Amino acid sequence: MKSYLAAAIQMTSVPNLHKNLVQAEELIDLAVRRGAELVGLPENFSFMGEEKDKLAQAAEIYSETAQFLTKMAQRFQVTILGGSFPVPVDNTGKVYNTTLLIDPNGHELARYYKVHLFDVNVPDGNTYRESSTVMAGKELPSVYFSEQLGNIGLSVCYDVRFPELYRHLSDKGADVMFVPAAFTAFTGKDHWQVLLQARAIENTAYVIAPAQTGNNYGRRQTHGHAMIIDPWGVILADAGDVPGIAIAEIKPSRLEQVRRQMPSLEHRVF
């Protein structure tokens, strides 16, 4: 593993596929011009809209998003995490909330179907039933082993509340953990940062968290604050609450230092 720059992209995605892809391309271009070699897009980066509209357009969203990720990785010669987008599940009328890791040649390195679905009555009056249109994945996320970028673990948004998933990634050797999200504004203000820091600290790993921000559609407000956090829990970059990027250096020497100073993973009893 070498030292390199990673970028967590922050978007305000809307119910318009092509508009979102234009925004994503502009931000990927910005990240690459600033030197990023690993770029992460947020959850639902290519479409944020009503569930019925997402289902109606799911096949088109999947096809165009997958092509877009391949094209961007090849064009900019970077590794891209396609935060998440819907992938239709045959004969179910539902989709998987899917994240893909794509290499600079446009090849798929890893794929993960979100396992924890957001079925919550938020105290701000909004109700979310992700399971009404999304089928939960049945397998724990994988870790992609890279000599250049370190070992990369995948997750999506609501997963961040389930530490056992990240302990699994840690057990598999993850150095860098992605948490692409569309966190609600109400829960994000209290929980987003502290959960990300906890996942980084307890697993002594970098956390890269691309995010949605602002008003996406209707009453859907997302928290923003795409972040990159180091293994000690230090926030290296925070994109604030407007579209943009958080960019920071991923250092193997920092990983080794923190794991030497705080060898908690070696002290596990259970």
Residue 164: pLDDT over 80: yes
Average pLDDT in the 72-82 region?
98
Question: For residue 142, is pLDDT > 80?
Answer: yes
Is there a catalytic annotation at residue 114? yes
Write down the catalytic residue from 37, 54, 157, 251.
157
pLDDT of 125 strictly over 80: no
**Which residues face 220 on adjacent strands?**
217
Residue range 153-161: average pLDDT?
Answer: 98
pLDDT tens digits along 43-70: 999 999 998 999 999 999 999 999 999 9
Q: Pull the structure tokens for residue 62.
A: 């999947």
Q: For residue 166, is pLDDT > 80? A: yes
* Distance, CA of 97 to CA of 105 (rounded, Å): 24
pLDDT confidence of residue 270: 87
In the sheet that 143-144 helps form, which strands lie side by side, from edge to edge?
Answer: 143-144, 152-153, 176-178, 206-209, 227-229, 235-238
Which letter does DSSP use for residue 22 in this model? H
Q: Which of 37, 51, 54, 114 is catalytic?
A: 114
For residue 199, give the H/E element and its range. Answer: helix 185-203
Q: Residue 168: pLDDT above 90?
A: yes
pLDDT beyond 90 at 126: no
Phi, psi dihedral angles at 148 (to 5 degrees): -90, -45
Q: Is 248 within 8 Å of 6 (Cβ atoms)?
A: yes
Q: Please state, rounded to an integer, the average pLDDT across all residues of the chain.
A: 96
pTM for the structure as a whole: 0.97
216 token code pair: 């996406």
Q: Which two tokens stand for residue 17?
A: 């596929």
Q: What is the pLDDT of residues 210-238, one digit of tens each?
A: 999 999 999 899 999 999 999 999 999 99
How many CA atoms lie within 13 Å of 176's alpha carbon, on the beta-carbon side? 34
187-197 residue pLDDT tens? 999 999 999 99
Topology given in CATH for the domain delimited by 4-267: Nitrilase/N-carbamoyl-D-aminoacid amidohydrolase (3.60.110)
135 C-beta neighbours (distance < 10 Å), count: 18
Q: Does residue 121 surpass a pLDDT of 90?
A: no
157 catalytic per annotation: yes
pLDDT on residue 122: 82
Residue 79 host element (H or E): strand 79-89
The active-site residue out of 43, 54, 64, 138 is 43
- What confidence score (pLDDT) does residue 207 get? 98
Instruction: Specify whether 164 is catalytic.
Output: no
pLDDT by residue (tens digit) across 33-42? 999 999 999 9
Q: In the chain, where are the structural domains located?
A: 4-267
Q: In the prediction, which pLDDT does 205 show? A: 98
In DSSP notation, 122-135 reads -TTS-EEEGGGTBP
